[in-house]
Amino acid sequence: MICQGCHLVAGSFLCERCRRDLRPAPERILQGGIRVVAAFEHVGVARDLVLGLKYRGLTYFADLVVETIARRALALPVVPVPRTWSRQVRYGIDPAREIAIRLARAHGSPMLDLLSPPFHTSRRAGGDHHRPPPRFGMRRPPEGRIVLVDDVVTTGATIVSAASVLGPGRIALVIAANLADTVSSQR
């Protein structure tokens, strides 16, 4: 097997050296008191792995994220923040949904597709965070509290936008694969 971090031969999808490069992320509280628990800081190997998930459909990282974080999540229905349609079609994968499926399975909770994605939105990842966040539609309202799942949380604007649609009081917790540093973009 080839390590997805360093592309050398390894015993699993991630060699020991790359595994040691993964840094646990601190918790973050977003606007409105929404709590974000992410598996890793969005740097180095963790950043490469999330990009592999998003753009090359390498889902081993989704398994690792859920292994790492399932104990810190709550056993509530799991709702993914959907990727825009245009990117789902282009890359053939919705990364948050891959994580949500696995988290729901780990807890024996349902995964609910409550949000519908915008067709297209300007690119945010790694770029301009001053653009407006995507506007989601709601397929149906949540019946109780839920765990919201996204792949990378940066400014949190996408989460706040999704929460405004679902009802902020419904979000018990946000689970993410990676948490990106926003110190510079928040100022």
Residues found near Zn ion in the complex (CB under 5 A): 3, 5-6, 15, 18
171 closest CA partner among 150, 142, 151: 142
- Choice between 27 and 63, CB closer to Zn ion: 63
CB of 45 to Zn ion, least distance (A): 7
- Choice between 6 and 43, CB closer to Zn ion: 6
Written as six digits, the tokens of 66 are 């859920």
- Choice between 8 and 29, CB closer to Zn ion: 8
SS3 174: strand
CB of 99 to Zn ion, least distance (A): 21
- Choice between 50 and 96, CB closer to Zn ion: 50
Contact 140, 62 (CB under 8 A): no
Q: CA quadruple 95, 132, 38, 152: dihedral positive or negative?
A: positive
CB of 32 to Zn ion, least distance (A): 39
Residue 133 neighbours by CB under 8 Å, 6+ apart: 124, 157, 158, 160, 161
- Choice between 6 and 160, CB closer to Zn ion: 6
Please name the residue that has the structure tokens 């400014």. Answer: 155
Helices (H), the chain: 16-21, 44-56, 60-69, 85-91, 95-107, 157-166, 183-186
CB of 92 to Zn ion, least distance (A): 25
